[in-house]
Chains A and B, each alone.
Chain A
Amino acid sequence: MRLAGDILLLIGAGFAFLGALGILRMPDVYNRIQAGTKAVTLGALAFLVGIGLLEPGWWAKLVCIGGFVLFTSPVSSSAIARALYISGVRPWRAPAAAGESGG
């Protein structure tokens, strides 16, 4: 049980790290919003499940925190994206040729 909890903790922290790396590396604000929101939400849920496996008596509060993260993270990112789009920030385009360039 402890090994499963540790692995989930490691997966959650890894996804949080990748989300933060996406925040640093992505070229414009919209890409940063989506990288930060999705990866970090998945990482947070995995981390909370890992804590619940390590301390089985804490499930109720952990479910509260997880549901709250799951509810507020899309709402806040959507609010930021809507505000940016209304205020006239245009999405980034690849500089050279058309088509998706990894990123």
Chain B
Amino acid sequence: MTLNSLELAAFALLGAAVLIALLRLVLGPKAPDRVVASDTLSVITTIGIAGLALVLGNPLYLDVALVFGVLAFVAVVAIARAIEGNRAQGGRQ
């Protein structure tokens, strides 16, 4: 579909959101900041892929978005468990 100005503004805002979350992912002082930024980035990327389905007019990308969301959720929970187990046994702070 051809995009009008409102949709272009919406996708520009999504791109700016991805850039800002990436900035926090790069700048983050410690590992937890990077994990939080990556969690937010995964949700933004999921709806970005859904928007890609809208732009390309192909509903197959919605399945891609769903699988991406599942994998990102599993990754975030696994990293959270790793932080918790590592620090709880007297690891380095």
A residues lining the B interface (CB < 8 Å): 3, 6-7, 9-10, 12-14, 16-17, 19-21, 23-24, 29, 32-33, 36-37, 40-41, 43-44, 47-48, 50-51, 54-55, 57-58, 61-62, 64-65, 68-69, 72-73, 75-77, 79-80, 82-84, 86-89
Contacts and interface: CB of A to CB of B under 8 A. Distances in A.
8 tightest A-B CB contacts, nearest first = A87-B87, A83-B84, A13-B13, A36-B40, A6-B6, A20-B17, A79-B80, A13-B10
Contact of B13 (A16, A75, A77, A79): A16
A10 B73 contact: no
Interface residues of B, number: 51
Chain B interface helix/strand/loop/mixed: helix
B6 A51 contact: no
A64 B50 CA distance: 12
B50 A48 contact: yes
Interface of B: 1, 4, 6-7, 9-14, 16-18, 20-21, 23-24, 30, 32-33, 35-37, 39-40, 43-44, 46-47, 50-51, 53-54, 59, 62-63, 65-66, 69-70, 73, 76-77, 80-81, 83-84, 86-88, 93
